[in-house]
Chains A and B, each alone.
Chain A
Amino acid sequence: MSPSPPANGVRSSWTAVRSMLRQDRWALAGALTIALLALVAIGADVLTAIEGQDPYTYRTEALDPATGAPAGPLGGVSGDHWFGVEPLTGRDLFAIVVHGARTSFLIGLAATAVSVLLGVVLGAIAGYLGGAVDKLVTWTADVLLGFPYLVFMIALAAVVPGEVPRPLLLIVVIGFFGWPSIARIVRAQTLTLRNRGFVSAARSLGAGPGHVFRHELLPNLWGPIIVVSTLSIPGKIGTEAALSFLGLGIPPPTPSWGRAISAAIDWVATDPMFLVFPGAALFLATWAFNVLGDGLRDALDPRTAVLR
């Protein structure tokens, strides 16, 4: 974070994060879980290659020939199928879960990037320029915050032609509905910074809005941005899972936790492990981002960071 913001001895964000991770064991556990899941997502192909499976091949020989449920106890968990297999298809559940992590992280992180980009730009413009622009942005944000976005997404998913790549559509739509909460926080922060001495000084020295934004505001905004974006990732992963659950997410056969959970509901009485593994993965991912986000907020909360 250079140039480091002027005045009042604020610790750099990075130092604050490191000290928080040393002190807050939950946040540390969250950070480690995220790192682990990220490694799993990146190395999904390698991991499934080690297991000797892939998430697409049907292995009907792993199913009970009488019912189509996995053969063997615990949903068919074995040396060949570490998490067992999917009922009716025999596809490897471990492969589905680790490749599903890739889908969830890709959509979750990319949608958050879209939200952050839109939210920071619009929030900073509204806060810094004020007046009609501020009113327009705040009003739009309020409308969007109250918008039944899940219903809208369901409708949109049904209307958008098949040629539009589904992952891109999901990223753009989920990301778009995420910007208002970020814009609000950035705007509030910008309002307090706008009249601070160093910003006035830069302005009186002839700096344009662009320069002020990049060199004076942004370095002081990173803290809150990191906090809100981390806290919004689990919601976005959850939204992707919800849309996939409803059959509107990433099209099959690309693995997705939401779709796996949706399929598993019907099987919960006969093959609970089919629900447990993708469910646990979704739980771990959302839990990890939430506790890390909480820890980060303690360290970088916008209401305390600047005053500290």
Chain B
Amino acid sequence: MTRRRLAVATAMAGALALSACGANEQPQGDAPASAARGGTLRVLTEGQTVNFDPAKSGSLAITSLGLVHRRLTAWHNKPGEQAVVVPDLADTGKTEDGGKTWTFTLQEGLKFNDGTPITAADVKWGVERSFAPAFSGGLGYHKQLLEGGADYRGPFEGAELKGVEAPDARTIRFHLVRPYGDWPWVVSTPAFAPVPKGKGAEPDYAEHPAASGPYQLAKYQKGVEARLTRNPSWDQRTDQVRAGLPDEVVFQLGQDASVVSQRLTADSGDDKSAFGASFVSAAQLAQLANNPSAKQRVVTSESGALAYLALNTAKAPLDNPKVREAFQYAVDKTSFQIASAGAAALAGETATTLITQGIVGREKFDLFPAPPAGDPEKAKQLLAEAGFPNGLQGLDFLVSKTNNGPEKAQSLQASLARAGIQSNIRTLDGDAYTEESSGAPEAKFDLTLASWQPDFPSANANIQPLFASSEIGGGGYNLSRYRDAEVDRLIGEAQATVDPVEAGKKWAALDKRILKDSPIVPLIYTRNSFLRGSKVANMFIADFPAYPNYLQVGLTP
């Protein structure tokens, strides 16, 4: 289990890192001229590295890794349309035993960039390779689900993974330990990209991977750039999710976020055909508001990750559900929005549910109706009923320094203080925060500010990583230490449901069931804003995920 929990945590970190890589068409901006084939697209990235090793990547299906690697399935990603799973290398899978065995058929005529055909054996090899300890760290939803995965250590030690079968060149079959309805989503994660059988043993495979997508990695220099050129073997007709418009895509690495913002605002030279992979900060957005040309080029998502205040349900006084309920009313979501992005429209809508917008089955409800600025009187009353007429003192409020965490936490601290809840903010660096918040089964903190973006567009990925008791400690993201046997059982049932509509209903019921216990206070569905140069076209952000679709971006002539 540990390995999977770690994988989930890394996935989250990966998602956060990714946030630095995209720009999108702004909903309120003018429609840009249409994208044409050709040109060099630049992606200004804060990180020092982009990892093109599918086994080690936490990249979403629509961002950087997707330019180079195809997976078995892909995401239908269009603004205003719900995310659904679509064929990529293979079809979207069939199951005949209620979700325990899944069979996928690969398309004909697929080739790697060196011209060798892509076979089911290469996909199987890629999956097996992700189990090797040397190549861990990527999204790992499959690792505990595949039969024999729990103690498998990769193909380089000679053994094959029992749970994956490649009976012929175009058929791949997965045997799972339990029925799992979201398996077609899981095979859209990076580990299901093909790696030529027998290859990829070297640690620097990430710098010369075999490409199946429209681009191949031509040059990689850590901290400087990653240059992608066209993959001659990629056939547009076999690929419905990648447009492959620019001739080259260059990731400029190690760029300072505020410098990126200044360069893209100035919009001169090569920067015209560039976009920033980092979120535009509140201060930068305020600056852009006075610049009509740049303002048009800000691309803001409609929705995004759920930002929430996690309450440690395993520690007094927050082990009392009534006390936790008081937090639902005490929090001022308006001031949190302003602290996040300066204005509600840029920060994202206030959240009242666990399942995020754009996910199949989501039901909108509000168990704790209060004005957006909160209801401190009601909170005080609830605290008094719970036996704390004088409020709560000295709560430990753990905050990560990344992503303006301290500023956002202060707005919560101030709003809690109105209801007589006094807390002390304790800020930690990113890694130390991850260690303390998710490392140990028992946590010292009372409150912590967190954010969760599902790794694939299913309510399962909204709920299970945050509230299943198996995700407590060891890198799991159940920060509230929420433990409820009935909820665990219901999660298992919903996961085993193959029909998406029926599963959606079960997840929606779970959403209410969990929130009734108030393990977290949902704050907002965080909007992300990106900035693009004037020649970058066709950059959009769909409802899920809140990142631009790199696969469709092009340049105007």
Contact = CB atoms under 8 A, between A and B. Distances in A.
Interface of A: 56-58, 60, 63-69, 87-90, 158, 162, 247, 251-253, 263, 266-267, 269-271
B427 A68 contact: no
Nearest to A267: B283
Contacts, number: 85
A12 B334 CA distance: 62
Interface stretch (B409-417, B480-488, B491-499): B409-417
A214 B406 CA distance: 49
B410 A269 contact: no
B287 A270 contact: yes
Given A56-B414, A251-B425, A266 B283 contact: yes
A253 B343 contact: no
A60 B335 contact: yes
Given A66-B343, A89-B411, A269-B287, 5 more contacts: A69-B286, A87-B283, A89-B414, A158-B432, A271-B286
B285 interface: yes
28 contacts: A56-B414, A58-B411, A58-B415, A63-B342, A66-B342, A66-B345, A67-B285, A67-B289, A68-B282, A68-B286, A68-B338, A68-B341, A68-B342, A68-B343, A69-B289, A87-B282, A88-B338, A88-B342, A89-B335, A252-B406, A252-B410, A253-B410, A253-B414, A263-B407, A267-B283, A269-B287, A270-B287, A271-B286
A158 B290 CA distance: 39
B225 interface: no
A274 B252 CA distance: 33
Contacts of A263: 407
B263 to A, nearest CB: 14
Contact of A65 (B284, B343, B427): B343
B442 interface: no
Contacts of A270: 283, 286-287, 290
Ranked nearest first, the 10 interchain pairs of A and B with the lowest CB-CB distance are A68-B342, A266-B283, A67-B286, A69-B286, A162-B426, A67-B289, A270-B286, A58-B335, A67-B342, A270-B287
A251 B282 contact: no
Contact of B286 (A89, A90, A253, A267): A267
Contacts of A67: 285-286, 289, 342-343
Contacts of B406: 247, 252
Interface in B371-421: 396, 401, 406-407, 409-411, 413-415, 417
A11 B440 CA distance: 66
B147 interface: no
Contact of B342 (A69, A158, A247, A251): A69
Contacts of A64: 286
**Chain A binding surface, main DSSP class:** loop
Contacts of A89: 335, 338-339, 407, 410-411, 414
Contacts of B48: none
Contacts of B343: 65-68
Contacts of A66: 289, 342-343, 345
A268 to B, nearest CB: 9
A278 to B, nearest CB: 16
B417 A56 contact: yes
Contact of B413 (A253, A266, A267): A253
A287 B334 CA distance: 41
B429 A158 contact: yes
Given A56-B414, A58-B411, A68-B338, A247 B401 contact: yes
Contacts of A271: 286
B410 A63 contact: no
B427 A251 contact: yes
Nearest to B426: A162
Contacts of A56: 414, 417
B258 A266 contact: yes
B325 interface: no
B302 to A, nearest CB: 18
- From A58, A64, A69, A269, residue with most partner B Cβ within 10 Å: A58
B281 interface: yes
Contacts of B427: 247, 251
Given A56-B417, A87-B286, A251 B424 contact: yes
B248 interface: no
B336 to A, nearest CB: 10
B267 interface: no
- From A88, A89, A269, residue with most partner B Cβ within 10 Å: A88
A158 B342 CA distance: 30
Nearest to B334: A60
- From B335, B396, B417, residue with most partner A Cβ within 10 Å: B335
Contacts of A69: 286, 289, 342
A58 B334 CA distance: 11
A272 to B, nearest CB: 12
B511 interface: no
Given A252-B410, A270-B283, A63 B338 contact: yes
A89 B340 CA distance: 10
B154 to A, nearest CB: 35
A269 B282 CA distance: 13
Interface in B504-549: none
Nearest to A91: B414
B434 to A, nearest CB: 14
A66 to B, nearest CB: 6
A270 B428 CA distance: 29
- From B284, B338, B425, B432, residue with most partner A Cβ within 10 Å: B338
B332 interface: yes
Contacts of B417: 56
Nearest to B429: A158
Nearest to B396: A162
B550 to A, nearest CB: 27
